[in-house]
Amino acid sequence: MHDESSAFAVFKFLVLLGIVLLLHDMKSVYNIGNCDELNASQAVLLIEAGETHCCFAIVDYANFMIVQAACYTAAKQDEDLLKTMIDTHAELRQAFRQTVVSYYATEDLLIPSKLYHYEAIQSLLGSLYEKDQNTIVSESVSEWQLYNVYYIPSARHGLLSRKFATGNFWHVYSIFLKNRIEQNDGGDFLIDFKTESFSVIGIRDHVLQVAGIFSYSRATDVLYWLLKISREFSFSQNEVHLVLSGLIDRQSSVFQELYQYFVHIKFASIENDLQLSRDFADYPIHFFSSLYKLAICVS
pLDDT tens for residues 222-270?
999 999 999 999 999 999 999 999 999 999 999 999 999 999 999 998 8
Shared domain for 215 and 176, answered yes or no, is no
Shared domain for 55 and 160, answered yes or no, is yes
Q: Say if 1 falls within a structural domain.
A: no
Shared domain for 35 and 174, answered yes or no, is yes
The range of the structural domain enclosing residue 137 comes to 16-180+274-281
Percentage of residues in the chain having pLDDT higher than 70: 91
Inter-residue contact 228 to 190 (CB < 8 Å):
no
* CATH number of the domain enclosing 26: 3.30.420.250
Q: Say if 37 falls within a structural domain.
A: yes
Shared domain for 49 and 144, answered yes or no, is yes
**Cβ atoms within 10 Å of 203's Cβ, excluding its own:** 23
* CATH number of the domain enclosing 241: 3.30.420.260
Shared domain for 120 and 159, answered yes or no, is yes
Instruction: State the Cα–Cα distance between residues 213 and 104, nearest whole angstrom.
Output: 9
Percentage of residues in the chain having pLDDT higher than 90: 70
Q: Say if 7 falls within a structural domain.
A: no
Shared domain for 120 and 199, answered yes or no, is no
Shared domain for 30 and 125, answered yes or no, is yes
Inter-residue contact 70 to 89 (CB < 8 Å):
yes
Q: Exposed (0-12), middle (13-18) or buried (19+): which is 235, by Cβ within 10 Å?
A: buried
Q: Say if 9 falls within a structural domain.
A: no
* Mean predicted confidence (pLDDT) in 43-57: 94
What domain count does the chain have?
Answer: 2
Q: Say if 5 falls within a structural domain.
A: no
Q: Identify the weakest region by mean pLDDT among 9-23, 178-192, 224-238, 239-253.
A: 9-23
Q: β-strand 207-215 against 197-204: which pairing, if any?
A: antiparallel
Phi then psi dihedrals of residue 276, to 5 deg:
-115, 140
- Residue of 275, 272, 269 whose CA lies nearest to 297: 272
Q: Say if 217 falls within a structural domain.
A: yes
User: Helix or strand or coil: residue 26?
Assistant: strand
Shared domain for 163 and 204, answered yes or no, is no
Phi then psi dihedrals of residue 179, to 5 deg:
-80, 155
Whether the pLDDT of residue 103 is over 70: the answer is yes
Shared domain for 34 and 116, answered yes or no, is yes
Shared domain for 146 and 71, answered yes or no, is yes
C-alpha dist (Å) from residue 37 to 34, 50, 91: 8, 29, 11
> What end-to-end distance do the CA atoms of the chain give, in Å?
49
Label residue 13 by pLDDT band (50, 70, 90): very low
Shared domain for 113 and 164, answered yes or no, is yes
Instruction: State the Cα–Cα distance between residues 216 and 143, nearest whole angstrom.
Output: 31
Shared domain for 75 and 157, answered yes or no, is yes
